[in-house]
């Protein structure tokens, strides 16, 4: 059986894992029936494999480059009871992983520790994406986390001045302090996969009327910092923007080939130096869209099949509702239900009916034409299999390992 190793972004392999492959096969079979206009075709009775769980809209940083800046600090938060009920409902429908992320800072939710305990006690994989300001709360539940669970810190800098310009933290929070606390959490539980997240910002990016602080030159220093403070990996990704009007995430819009070439050249040079300063004990990861930038293939990631298949396998549960894609968090076209859409079997059924309609009617080729899609490859892999003559029994199974989508 094929093993899934070091393939964080290989979503088609994740969907072929032993615990997931049957719902992939049923989904493909359903899609084929829909395309034959079979009126009896019903969406397979599964929930998402993985969810982004946005605990709160509150955030104690004021990051100028935040792609979710338009939906944070609205005063909204999910209640502990609603979270527990939703997870219980979803686990009965096949939920395998929960990512605490997005739309706010998860560790400022008043019930953060209890939520992590609940998720882990249900045997679900858990990932925590945090700005690192409240790591004492993560440390309080660190002993519960198991191999495969992860903690990723959004740092985006290697120097204190850039960190403060990029995050505008309150209360005397420093990059060095966060790194020390992260190292302490890792020491408390070495099983945790500890990640240093770095959004690459280049000169000339403006948001909210202000130019963002460039950090391209600090990429090699960030690798050294990650290695020094016991991180397992550092993950680089490009700075995304929310387009005015549509609210969709995009990259280099409108296109400017000459500028793109200059930016990519600078990033490539920094990444090469960073690689030279790394060691075999720490991974350097590049996001799907950053790799596409390096390869000159951004245009390919903006070319989607008409159907977004990924929305069947992962969703976003946020205080403002349930969304079919992280890139459409807070965007009306991506909202399939209110925040109560997973509370019980009845509400789940209504949400699934809405998802069914979304899968059938949401035109990803049009709606995502400016979105540099993280799920581009898996969407096309599924699309091509649906249109092929191959039987679903031919889908090769991958050993269970990583259910984060």
pLDDT tens for 20-29 read 999 999 999 9
Report d(CA 396, CA 37) in Å as an integer: 28
Supply the pLDDT for residue 239: 86
From residue 280, give the alpha-carbon distance in Å to each of 21, 283, 291, 299: 32, 7, 20, 33
**If you write DSSP's letter for every residue of 80-135 in order, what string do you get?**
HHHHHHHHHHHHHTT--EEEE-SSS-GGGSTTHHHHHHHHHHTT-EEEEEE-STTH
The structure tokens 């070495």 sit at: 190
Element (H, E) at 36: none
Over residues 100-108, mean pLDDT: 92
Share of the chain above pLDDT 90, in %: 73
- Band of residue 245 on the pLDDT scale cut at 50, 70, 90: low
pTM of the model: 0.94
Name which of 403, 402, 312 is nearest 357 in CA terms.
312
Structure confidence by residue, pLDDT tens digits, 60-99 = 988 887 777 678 778 799 999 999 999 999 999 999 999 9
Percent of the chain whose predicted confidence (pLDDT) is above 70: 94
Lowest mean pLDDT among 19-23, 91-95, 143-147, 298-302: 298-302
Q: Indicate the SS3 state at residue 267.
A: helix
Place of tokens 């949400």: 351
Residue 150, phi-psi category: left (phi > 0), alpha (psi -120 to 50), beta (remainder): beta
Q: How confident is the model at residue 370 (pLDDT cuts 50, 70, 90)?
A: confident
Averaged pLDDT score across all residues of the chain: 91
Whose structure tokens read 């960190």?
163
pLDDT above 50 (res 1): no
Mean pLDDT of 266-276: 93
Confidence band of 246 (pLDDT split at 50, 70, 90): low
Whether the CA torsion 8, 12, 15, 16 is positive or negative: it is negative
Average pLDDT of the segment spanning 223-236 = 96
Query: Where does 11-394 sit in CATH, by number?
Result: 3.20.20.70
Rounded distance between C-alpha atoms, residue 292 and residue 44, angstroms:
33
Element (H, E) at 380: helix 376-387
Structure tokens of 41? 């075709």
* Structure confidence at residue 208 (pLDDT): 72
């Amino acid at each position: 059986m094929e093993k899934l190793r070091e393939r964080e972004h290989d979503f088609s392999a994740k969907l072929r894992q032993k615990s997931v492959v049957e719902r992939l096969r049923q989904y493909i079979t359903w899609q084929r029936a829909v395309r034959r206009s079979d009126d009896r075709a019903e969406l397979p009775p599964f929930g998402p494999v993985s969810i982004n769980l946005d605990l709160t809209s509150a955030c104690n940083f004021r990051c100028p480059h935040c792609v979710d800046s338009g939906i944070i600090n609205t005063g909204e938060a999910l209640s502990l009871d609603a979270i527990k009920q939703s997870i219980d409902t979803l686990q009965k429908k096949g939920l395998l992983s929960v990512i605490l992320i997005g739309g706010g800072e998860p560790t400022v939710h008043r019930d953060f520790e209890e939520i992590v305990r609940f998720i882990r006690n249900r045997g679900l994989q858990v990932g925590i994406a945090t700005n690192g300001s409240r790591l004492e709360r993560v440390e309080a539940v660190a002993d519960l986390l198991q191999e495969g669970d992860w903690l990723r810190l959004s740092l985006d800098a290697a120097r204190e001045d850039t960190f403060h310009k990029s995050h505008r933290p309150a209360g005397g929070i420093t990059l060095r302090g966060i790194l020390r606390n992260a190292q302490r959490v890792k020491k408390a539980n070495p099983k945790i996969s500890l990640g240093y997240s770095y959004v690459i910002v280049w000169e000339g990016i403006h948001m909210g009327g202000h130019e963002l602080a460039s950090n391209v030159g600090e990429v090699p220093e960030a690798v050294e910092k990650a290695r020094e403070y016991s991180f397992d990996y550092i993950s680089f990704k490009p700075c995304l923007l929310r387009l005015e009007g549509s609210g969709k995430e995009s990259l280099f819009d409108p296109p400017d080939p000459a500028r793109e070439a200059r930016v990519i050249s600078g990033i490539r040079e920094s990444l090469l130096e960073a690689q030279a300063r790394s060691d075999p004990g720490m991974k350097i990861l590049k996001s799907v869209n950053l790799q596409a930038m390096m390869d000159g293939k951004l245009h390919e990631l903006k070319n989607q099949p008409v159907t977004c298949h990924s929305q069947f396998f992962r969703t976003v549960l946020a205080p403002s509702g349930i969304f079919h894609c992280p890139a459409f968090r807070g965007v009306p076209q991506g909202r399939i239900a209110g925040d109560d859409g997973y509370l019980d079997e009845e509400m789940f059924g209504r949400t699934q009916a809405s998802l069914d309609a979304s899968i059938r009617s949401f035109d990803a080729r049009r709606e995502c034409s400016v979105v540099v899609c993280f799920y581009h490859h898996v969407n096309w892999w599924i699309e091509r299999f649906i249109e092929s003559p191959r039987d679903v029994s031919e889908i090769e199974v991958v050993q269970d390992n990583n259910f984060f989508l």
